[in-house]
């Protein structure tokens, strides 16, 4: 196991009341760092004070976007123990994204050990109110100071931590989502399966347009025909159709969400039939018409479960599919409650999702 250096901060910050701050606005005292060059490989694993990082104005990430990231969460259990939710799966996905972006594979054991050590040092930053957590952002970016277009030779890996409030502090607020029929985010052969900034850059304008129309987010459809359902920018999408749980298959254009995996695993455990397959916009319109589209919800680390109250299809004469009178459906509610209890070990974790921090 690599030696992880620890550089102590001169002064620690005041802890914040997370119920008064927005998502991702405050950061803890320390971060984990590791660097890469071809001579040494990944090296210099250390926990250092949270501080600004220096980059060259010619930094290749700034110009060409060769970067990847993760997002996971740590919680405090009812007994006051700090725990991490599916951290190993998130580190493994970081390496799958690395492959897609030609970033050298991270030593997963060192990255994971660094994360656990960092969390042990920062455990007092994990808020313990209902639904509150410490959001973890591991990321890798290219650091070559070079304007030529090529795969970078050097990289930096950082893990930063941000205390966050419950996403739905005042009860669920089901979202209105526009089924996108003009813009595209990812295509076959593209970067959709990687957690990488490019997918977000490609989604910002369409998101803004949807906002201007009064909708919360965009549900991406396939780039070629706008016929097949993909995912919502930062969440996977799931449907309850005629009693079955249905979600788009992992076809390379959407992210293999860890929350998606969690939901599908639990749904199967509960005895639901689960289908990962192609779903067309027409199928949804048909299912809604015949009363078989029972629930729609997103899954992602930030909100865990995000109920969809309304799906809007088409721009000329839009069809508004209202779901459950715009309220959260019983399946999504039950799933949210169960995962919420798993996070804090209020229910037995028979899946091995919860990882101890110390």
Ligand X SMILES: *Cc1c(COP(=O)(O)O)cnc(C)c1O
Binding site for ligand X (CB under 6 A): 71, 195, 199, 231, 233-236, 255, 257-260, 299-301
91 vs 235, which CB is nearer to ligand X? 235
**Shortest reach from residue 310's CB to ligand X, in Å:** 20
Whether the Cβ atoms of residue 70 and residue 88 lie closer than 8 Å to each other: no
**Residue 70 Cβ, how far from ligand X at the closest point, in Å?**
8
Which of 45/177 has CB closer to ligand X? 177
Least Å distance, CB 208 to ligand X, is 17
Q: Which is nearer to ligand X, 148 or 189 (CB)?
A: 189
Q: Which is nearer to ligand X, 45 or 160 (CB)?
A: 160
* Smallest distance from ligand X to CB 241, Å: 21
Spatial neighbors of 108 by CB under 8 A, at least 6 apart, are 88, 91, 92, 95
Q: Between residues 94 and 284, which has the closer beta carbon with respect to ligand X? A: 94
- In the complex, the smallest distance separating the C-beta of residue 135 from ligand X, rounded to whole angstroms, is 11
Least separation, in Å, of the C-beta of 195 and ligand X?
5
Of the pair 45, 159, the CB lying nearest ligand X is at: 159
Return the number of other C-beta atoms located less than 10 Å from residue 301's C-beta.
Answer: 22
Closest separation in Å from C-beta 130 to ligand X:
20
C-beta closer to ligand X: residue 47 or 119: 119
């Amino acid at each position: 196991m690599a030696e992880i250096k620890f550089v102590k901060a001169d002064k620690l910050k005041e802890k914040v009341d997370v119920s008064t701050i927005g998502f991702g606005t405050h950061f803890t005292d320390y971060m984990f760092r590791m660097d890469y060059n071809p001579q040494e490989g990944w090296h210099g694993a250390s926990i250092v004070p949270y501080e600004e990082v220096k980059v060259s104005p010619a930094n290749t990430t700034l110009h060409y976007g060769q970067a990847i990231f993760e997002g996971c969460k740590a919680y405090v259990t009812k007994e006051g123990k700090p725990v991490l939710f599916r951290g190993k799966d998130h580190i493994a996905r970081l390496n799958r994204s690395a492959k897609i972006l030609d970033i050298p594979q991270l030593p997963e054991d060192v990255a994971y050990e660094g994360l656990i050590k960092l969390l042990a040092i920062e455990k007092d930053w994990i808020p313990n109110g209902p639904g509150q957590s410490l959001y973890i952002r591991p990321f890798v970016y290219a650091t070559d100071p070079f304007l030529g277009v090529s795969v970078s030779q050097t990289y930096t890996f950082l893990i930063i931590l941000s205390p966050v409030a419950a996403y739905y502090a005042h009860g669920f607020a089901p979202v209105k989502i526009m089924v996108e029929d003009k813009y595209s985010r990812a295509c076959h052969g593209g970067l959709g399966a990687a957690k990488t900034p490019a997918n977000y850059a490609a989604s910002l304008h369409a998101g803004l347009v949807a906002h201007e129309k009064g909708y919360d987010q965009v549900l991406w459809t396939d780039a070629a025909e706008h016929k097949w359902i993909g995912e919502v920018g930062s969440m996977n999408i799931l449907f309850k159709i005629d009693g079955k749980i249905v979600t788009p298959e992992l076809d390379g254009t959407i992210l293999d969400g860890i929350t998606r995996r969690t939901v599908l695993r639990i749904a199967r455990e509960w005895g639901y039939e689960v289908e990962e397959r192609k779903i067309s916009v027409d199928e949804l319109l048909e299912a809604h018409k015949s009363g078989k589209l029972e629930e729609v919800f997103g899954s992602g680390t930030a909100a865990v479960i995000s109920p969809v109250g309304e799906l809007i299809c088409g721009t000329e004469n839009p069809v508004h599919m209202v779901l459950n009178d715009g309220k959260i459906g019983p399946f999504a509610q039950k799933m949210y409650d169960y995962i919420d209890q798993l996070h804090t070990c209020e229910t037995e974790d028979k899946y091995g999702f919860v990882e101890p921090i110390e």
